Structure 1
Amino acid sequence: MLGDNFVEDRNSGRGTTLGASRETSYEPPAANWGSDRGDQPVLDLAVYWRIALKHRFLILGCFFGVLVIGIALTLLMTPVYTAQATLQIDREAARVFNTEEVLPNEGLVQGEEFFQTQYGLLRSRSLTERVIQSLGLANSDASLQAVGIKPPPAEGTAVERAARRRAAALDALQENLSVSPVRGSRLVAVGYDNPDPVVAARIANGFAENFIQANLDRKFESSKYARQFLEERIAQTKLRLEDTERQLVAYAVNQQIINVGEPSEGSDAPGSSQSLTSNNLVALNASLASVRAERVAAEERWRSARSSSLMALPEVLQNQSIQRLTEQRALLDAEYQQKLGLYKPDYPEMVRLSAQIEEADRQIQAIANNVRTSIQRQYQIAANQERSLLAQVNALKGDVLDLRDRSIQYNILQRELDTTRTLYEGLLQRYKEVSVTGGVASNNISIVDLASPPEEPSKPDLMLNVLLAALLGLGLGVVAAVVLEALDETVATPEDAESKLGVPVLGVVPLLDKGQTTAAALADVRSAFSEAYYSLITALQFSTPNGAPDSILVSSARPAEGKSTTAFAVALNLARIGRRVLLIDGDLRNPSMHRVIGVENERGMSNVLSGSLDLKSVVQETKQENLSFVPCGPLPPNPAELWGGDRVRVLLGEAGESFDHVVIDGPPVLGFADSPLLAAVVGGVVFVVESRGTRRGQARGALRRLQVGRAHLLGVVLTKFNAKSTSYGGYDYAYDYHYGAAQPEEVSATKKSKRP
C-alpha cells in the first residue's frame, strides 16, 4: 500500500504518486486555459492566408460568378460616345480701358473658388435651358427622339406637353453632361454622352458656345443696370447738394460769419474756415508769446544787475566806452607808479596824474550806472508791452468763443456740403467710366477646341468593367470567407486548438477510412492511426521533467469525441514500450471500455470506490502484455460522491505499487462533476477534442471547469482529423507515418528475389 506516499499540493490543485514529485513536475500556465492567446501579432498575414486557403472554393466561386455577370452586362450595354469641347477660362479678361469692371474683380479670388464657380455655372439649370432653347431640342417629340431622349406621354394641352418635353430634355442633358477640369491649367473639358456621336458633338459645342454668350450677356446686363442705378443716384445727389449750399449761405448771412482763406489741413472739422476774429487772435497771441519771452529775459537781466556788483555785470564789462576808459586808466596808473619812484605824491606832475586817474574812475562809474539804468528800462518796457497785448488777447477771446458757438451749425452744414460734393463727383466719374466700357464686349472665356464626333465609344469600358467585377467578386468572396470564419466556432486544426483554446496540442489523430475499425488500426503498429498515438506517447514523455505522469486522466468536453479510444491507445502504447500500465474505466455513467477490451463488467471501479472490494480483486489481465484493466462495474446512483472521497487517492497509491502508469478513461466534463474531481488528484489530464465536432465554447467551458478543479492539463489531442481534406495555411496535414515502409511492389519483388 502506497497511500502514505501520496503527496497532495493544494496550491497546485493536483496530487502525484510515486515517481511524480510535486516539486519537479512541470505545469503549464493555467491563466491561458480556455482563453485566446495574447501573444499573437496584431496583423498576422499567415492567419488570413490560411482563411483564404480554407475557403478558396467560396472565394473563387464569388470571383468567377461576379466576373461572368460583369462581362455579360458589359456586352449587353448600348455603346455610348463622349464628345468633348475644350474651354479656356481666365480669371480676368483683357482690358481695353484702364478702368474697373462693373462685375466683382474675380481675378483677385484666391484658390479654387473662382474656377469652382465657373464649373457650377456650366452645370447650372439656366445654361442647360439655354442650350435646349438654342438647339431646339424640345420643340417636338421628334427632336427629343433625334437626340436619344424618350418623349413624354402626349397628354394634356400643348403648353403642358411642351413643359414636359423641356423637363425631359433638361434631365437628360444634365445627367449626360460632364465637366472635367484639366489639372494644373485653366482649361476645362465639357463633354456629353450619347449613343449618336454626331449628337454628342453637337450638344457639347452647344454648351460651350452658350456658356460664352451667357457670360457676355451677364456682363452687359450688369453694365446696363449700373448705368441706370448711377443716373438715379446722381440726380438725387445733385438736388441734395444744391439744397445744402443754400442752407449754408443763408446761415452765414444770418449769423454774420465771414471766413477768409481755405480750411486748415489739420483742422478736425473739414468745413471750418478761418474767420477775421480768429486770425487777429492768432496774430496777437503770437506777438504776446514773443513779448512775454522778451519780458522774461529782461526781467532776468534786471534781477541779475540789481543783485550783482556793478562792475561785474556782463553788459558793463562788454561796454566799449568802459573798456576804453579802463585801458586809459591802466596807462595812467602805470605812469603814476613809474614816476612815484622819482617824485613825491604832492609833486605837480604826480597830482595831475592822480586827478586824471580819478576822472577816469568817475567816468567809468557813471557809464556803469547808465548801463544798469538801461537794463531796468528795458524790463519796464517789456512788462508794459506784455500787459497791453494780454489785455487785447483777452478781449478777442470772448469774440472768438462767441463765434465758435455760432459756427457749430455752420460747420455741420459745411461738412455735409463737402461730403455730398465728394459723392457727387465720384458718381459722375463712375458714370463716365461705365458709359465708356458698357459697349465693349470683353470676355474671359474662349473656345480652344470644338467637339468633333468621336470614332470609338467611351462606354462601356470592357477592361474597366472586368477589373471592377474581378475586384468586387474577390472582395465579396473574401468578406464571405471572413464572415464564415468568424462564425465558425468549431476546432478543426491544431492551429485552431492552440489559438482558440490557448492549450498546446500533444497529438493529432487522423480520421479512419470507411470500413476500418479502431481495433484493427491499433493492431497494425505501422498504421497512421497507431503512429499518431505513438507520437502522443512521445509528447507525454516530454510533458513533464520526469517523463509521462504516473496517473493520467483522459477526458473531453462531450461524449463521442474519441476519449475512450485515446485512453485505450495511450495505455496500449505505453504497455508496448515495456511500461506496466493499469487502464481504468472511470466513466461510471456510460461505460464502454469493457466492450473495447472484451471483458465482463460485473465488478469494477464502483465496487472499489464503495469499499466492497479491493483493487487487486477487480484488476483483469488483457491480451496485451503489461496492460491490465479495471472495468466500471455496476453503475452507482451518484458517481460524483464516489470520486469525491479519499478512496481515489488511496486507490492511486495502491496502483502505484504495481504499475508504472495509471490511465483513467474519464467521463465528459460538461454537465458532470466527475472529471473535475478526478483531474484534481491525477498527475495530468489529456483533453480530447474532436476535429470539426467540438465547438470552441464547449471546449473552453470544459477547460474552465478543469481549471476550477486545479487540474494539471498536459495538452489537447485532436481526434478524427481529416488530413486528406485539410490543407490549411500552406501546411499539408496529410500525416504519412509510412515513411521507410516498403511499398507493396517492392515487397513482392523482394520475395521473388529470395526464391530458389
Structure 2
Amino acid sequence: MYGRALANSSADERELDTYADANAISAWNRQEYSTEPSLLDIPSVFNAIVRHRWVFLGIIASLFIAAVAWVATQTPLYRAQATLELNPSTTRVVDLGSAQEEAVQPDRDYLALQIGLMESRSLAERVARALNLARSEAFLRREPDKATTSSDVAGTLMQNFSATGTTSDRIVEISYVHPNPAVAAQVVNAFANEAVESTFERAYESTARSRAFLQRQLETTRQELERSERELIAYARAANIVNVVSEEGASSGDSAGGTLVASNLVALNEQLADAQNARIVAEQRYQQSSASANAAAVADPTVQTLQQQRAQVQAEYDQKLQRYLPNAPEMVALSAQLAGLQRQIAQATSRSSSSVSGSLRADFISAQNRERALQSKIKQLESQLLNLNDRGVKYTILRRAVEANRSLYNALLAKLGEENSSGTKSSSLALIDSAQAPGSPFAPNIPRTLILALLGGIILGTAAAIGLDRWRDTINTPDDVRSALGLTAVGIIPKLEKGQKVDEELHDPRSPVAEAYHSARAALQFIASGGETPKSILFTSARPGEGKTTSVIALAADFISIGKRVVVIDADLRNPSIRGKKSDGGLTAVLSERRQLTGEVNPTDTPGLFLLHAGTPPPDPTVLLANRALASIVERLELLYDVVIIDGPPVLGLADAPLISACSQATVLVVEAGKTHRRAAANAVNRLVAGGGSLVGAILTKFAGTTHGYGYGYGYGYSYKYDLKSEKRALIGPGPREEEAI
C-alpha cells in the first residue's frame, strides 16, 4: 500500500523526515509550477476581469462620467485656418563688378525659418496693434482694461496661434483658436496679412541696409584710393621717377620699362641695332672697295663718254686702214687721237676709283663712331636704370596698392548702381486661402474624449483587476490548480446561487452540484494504478472551511450509488466535523486502544454507508496519529469495505494531515476557488508529498464558472433513490464546527 512504510517509524522520526524533505520537495515544486499568475496570459487576464468585474466596470463608469462632466464644463473652441505659399527670393552674387542672380530653393530649414518668423512675438504684436485687440471686447471676452497693452495681448496670440508645414516645402498652414469663430477668422487673416507685409518690410530694410553699407564702403575705399595715389605720386617725385603713360591712358605695366629711363633705353637699343647694321654694311662695302671702284669708274659718265669717242675713232681708223697705210698722215692723226683718248680714259678712271674708295671708308668710320656712341649712351642708361630699379621696388608696391583700391572702388560702385536699379525685392510669402469663420468647434472633441475615457477606463480597470488578482493571490480556476499546484482538478464543484441549499442540490441528481460530484467520483473511481478505485482516500485542504467535509459526504453517497460499501472516517481529531450517535468513543478511543475498531464503526441511515467518528479530541492528536495503530485501522477497514473515505484535518502547519496521508492509498486536496492562496496550497502539497502521501488530484469547490470565464452545465441527469437529507442529519450533527456550505 502507498506510503505504508513510513507508518512503521516513530512519531518523532516521522516528523523529522517530514520537515527534512519538505524543503527539497517545495523547491522542486516551485521549479516545475509557478505560483504567480502571468500578466501576458490572456485567459488569466480575462478571468481576473470577470472576477473583479464590479471594480472594472466602476473604474470605466467613473472615468466616463468624469469625461462627460469635463466636456460639459469646457468652453467650445473654434479654429480658423489659412494657407500661405513660400516664394523664396533670388540672391544677387557680385564678382568684381558683375552680378548674377541665383534662385534659392525652399527646403526644411527654410520652412522652419519662415514658421519661426510667423510664430515670433514681433508678428503677434503687429497683429495686436493692427486689430487693436487690447481694446476688443470680443477678443478679450471681458470689458477692456486701460492697463492692457498690445504686448500683453501678444502672449495670448502666441499661445493660440500655430503654423505648420505640409508635405510640400512651399505650403504653410496657419491657424488660430478662439471661443468666437469670427474673431478666430479675423485674427488668423491678420496674421497672414501681417506676415506678408513683414516680408516686404524686411526686404526693403535689407535693400536699404545694403545700400547704406555699400555707400559707406565706397566712401572708405575712395578715401583709401586717394591716399594711396598721393603716396605714389609723392614717392615718384622724391625718387625722380617719371611714369610713361600709354596711348590708352594706362600705365605701361609693372616693370621699370614704364619709366622715362627705361623708355630711352629701349629707344637707344633700337638705334644701336640699326647702327650696328649700318656699320656692318659700310665695313663690307669698304672691304670690297677695289671691285667697287672699278665698277664705279665704268659707271662714271665721263669715262663712258670718252670710251664712246674712242670707239668712234677706232671704228673710223679701222675703216680707213683698208684704204690707207698706217703711215699715212691721216692714219697717224687718227692713231694720235686714239692714244689721246686712251690717256683721258685712264685718267678719268683713276680719278673715279679714288673718289669711290674714299667715300666708302668715310662711311665705314662714321657708322663705327655712331655705334660706339650709342653703346656708351646705353651703358650710361643701364647704370641709371639699375639705380632706378632699386628705387622702383617701393614704387611698384605703392602702384599696386593704388590699382587694388581702384578695382575695389569700381566694383563697389558697380554694385551700388545695381542695387539702385534693382528696386525692392518681392515678398517671399503669398496668401493662397484666407480663413473663414468655422461652423463647428474643434474642441472639446466629444467623441474622441469619450472614446479615450472608455479606453483609459478599460486599461485602468484591467490593471486594477490584475493588481487585485495578484494581491489576493488565490486559486480561482482549474488552470490555476494545474499551474500552481501541478495537480489535476478531478472535480470542479460549482458555487451555489443565493438561496440555494447544498442538501437540496445534492438531492437533485440533475443539479450542477450533483453532476459535478458524479464527475469527481468517476475520476476517482479509476485513478489508481491499473484503473482501479483506491481502497482508501484522504480528503484534506490547506485551511478550514473549503468544503472538504461536504465533498466527503457527497462522494461517499455517490460511491454507494454505484454499489460500493463505504466507510467514512472523521480523522480531524482537533476539530471534528462529523458526530455520530456516540461521542465518547470513536477514532480517538481506537487509537488509544480503549475501544475495539468493530465496535466504533457504526452504520448510518443510508444502506452501505458506515461511519467512524472522531470521538473526544485528545490532548496531543499527533502522538496518536503517528502510531502504527492508524495504518492498521485503515488496512483493516480496507479489507472490510470497498472504499475508505477519510475526512482529514486541514494541513495548516501541523503534522496531522501528512501523517494520515501516508496511511492512505490516495490523497485529494480540496481547494476553495477565490479563497485559497496559491502559496498556502503549494505549501500544503509540498508537506503532503514530503510526508509520503500520494496526491492524485484536487477538487475545486465553490467555483463560479461564469465569473471565472468558464461555462458549466449538463443536459442529462441521474436519479437516486436515497434520502440525502436523512443522510446529512445522520452524518453531520451540530458539532464544534460545521463546514461552510458550498
TM-score class, shorter-chain normalisation, is 0.5 to 0.7
Aligned pairs (5 A) from 1:235-274: 235-240=219-224
2:458 matches 1:477: yes
CA distance in 2, matches of 1:705, 1:403: 123
Equivalent residue in structure 2 for 1:176, among 130, 140, 160: 160
Other-structure match for 2:84: 87
Residue 90 of structure 2 contacts residue 103 of structure 2 at CA under 8 Å; is this kept in 1? no
Structure 2 unaligned runs (5+)? 9-24, 245-252, 259-386, 721-742
CA distance in 1, matches of 2:719, 2:255: 129
Other-structure match for 1:732: 711
Equivalent residue in structure 2 for 1:116, among 112, 117, 129: 112
SS, match of residue 603 in structure 1: coil
Residue 89 of structure 2 contacts residue 426 of structure 2 at CA under 8 Å; is this kept in 1? no
Other-structure match for 1:264: none
Equivalent residue in structure 2 for 1:205, among 189, 192, 196: 189
Q: What is the identity, as a one-letter code, of the residue corresponding to 1:214?
A: S
Q: What is the identity, as a one-letter code, of the residue corresponding to 1:698?
A: A
Q: CA deviation at 1:249?
A: 8.5
SS, match of residue 136 in structure 2: helix
Residue 93 of structure 1 contacts residue 443 of structure 1 at CA under 8 Å; is this kept in 2? no
2:620 matches 1:638: yes
Cα deviations by residue, 1:239-273 (Å, 9 ceiling, x for unpaired): 5556667778989999999999xxxxxxxxxx997
CA spacing shift, 1:412–1:541, aligned 2, 3 Å? farther
CA distance in 2, matches of 1:673, 1:621: 30
Q: What is the identity, as a one-letter code, of the residue corresponding to 1:36?
A: S
2:644 matches 1:662: yes
2:562 matches 1:582: no
Q: What is the identity, as a one-letter code, of the residue corresponding to 2:463?
A: V
Residue 151 of structure 1 contacts residue 165 of structure 1 at CA under 8 Å; is this kept in 2? no
Q: What is the identity, as a one-letter code, of the residue corresponding to 1:531?
A: E
Per the normalisation by structure 2, the TM-score is: 0.64
SS, match of residue 619 in structure 2: coil
CA distance in 2, matches of 1:62, 1:505: 34
Query: Which of 251-260 and 409-418 deviates more?
Result: 251-260
Equivalent residue in structure 2 for 1:716, among 670, 677, 698: 698
Residue 491 of structure 2 contacts residue 517 of structure 2 at CA under 8 Å; is this kept in 1? yes
Q: What is the identity, as a one-letter code, of the residue corresponding to 2:155?
A: D
Other-structure match for 1:394: none
Q: What is the identity, as a one-letter code, of the residue corresponding to 1:217?
A: E
2:139 matches 1:147: yes
Residue 55 of structure 2 contacts residue 464 of structure 2 at CA under 8 Å; is this kept in 1? no
Cα deviations by residue, 1:52-73 (Å, 9 ceiling, x for unpaired): 5555565555556655665565
Structure 1 unaligned runs (5+)? 11-26, 155-160, 261-270, 277-401, 743-756
CA distance in 1, matches of 2:588, 2:630: 11
Other-structure match for 1:226: 210
CA spacing shift, 1:247–1:679, aligned 2, 3 Å? farther
2:131 matches 1:132: no
CA distance in 2, matches of 1:96, 1:420: 20
CA distance in 1, matches of 2:696, 2:86: 79
CA distance in 2, matches of 1:123, 1:255: 67
Q: CA deviation at 1:591?
A: 1.0
Q: CA deviation at 1:221?
A: 1.8
CA distance in 2, matches of 1:219, 1:125: 19
Q: CA deviation at 1:431?
A: 3.6
Per the normalisation by structure 1, the TM-score is: 0.63
Residue 189 of structure 2 contacts residue 434 of structure 2 at CA under 8 Å; is this kept in 1? yes
Aligned pairs (5 A) from 1:513-552: 518-519=502-503, 521-522=505-506, 525-546=509-530, 547-552=532-537
CA spacing shift, 1:515–1:179, aligned 2, 3 Å? closer
Query: Which of 29-38 and 687-696 deviates more?
Result: 29-38
Equivalent residue in structure 2 for 1:443, among 427, 434, 455: 427
Residue 7 of structure 2 contacts residue 626 of structure 2 at CA under 8 Å; is this kept in 1? no
SS, match of residue 492 in structure 2: strand
CA distance in 1, matches of 2:393, 2:590: 129
Q: What is the identity, as a one-letter code, of the residue corresponding to 1:732?
A: G
CA distance in 2, matches of 1:275, 1:9: 136
2:543 matches 1:558: yes
Q: CA deviation at 1:563?
A: 1.0
Q: Percent identity?
A: 34
Aligned pairs (5 A) from 1:345-744: 426-437=411-422, 439-454=423-438, 456-460=439-443, 464-488=445-469, 489=472, 490-499=474-483, 501-512=485-496, 518-519=502-503, 521-522=505-506, 525-546=509-530, 547-593=532-578, 595=579, 598-613=580-595, 615-709=597-691, 711-722=693-704, 726-729=706-709, 731-733=710-712, 735-736=713-714, 739=717
Cα deviations by residue, 1:252-298 (Å, 9 ceiling, x for unpaired): 999999999xxxxxxxxxx997999xxxxxxxxxxxxxxxxxxxxxx
Residue 56 of structure 2 contacts residue 465 of structure 2 at CA under 8 Å; is this kept in 1? no
Cα deviations by residue, 1:311-362 (Å, 9 ceiling, x for unpaired): xxxxxxxxxxxxxxxxxxxxxxxxxxxxxxxxxxxxxxxxxxxxxxxxxxxx
CA distance in 1, matches of 2:485, 2:238: 111
CA distance in 2, matches of 1:48, 1:124: 51
Q: CA deviation at 1:234?
A: 3.7
Residue 94 of structure 1 contacts residue 442 of structure 1 at CA under 8 Å; is this kept in 2? no
Q: CA deviation at 1:480?
A: 1.4
Q: Which has the larger radius of gyration?
A: 2
Q: CA deviation at 1:713?
A: 2.4
CA distance in 2, matches of 1:519, 1:179: 76
CA distance in 1, matches of 2:587, 2:74: 79
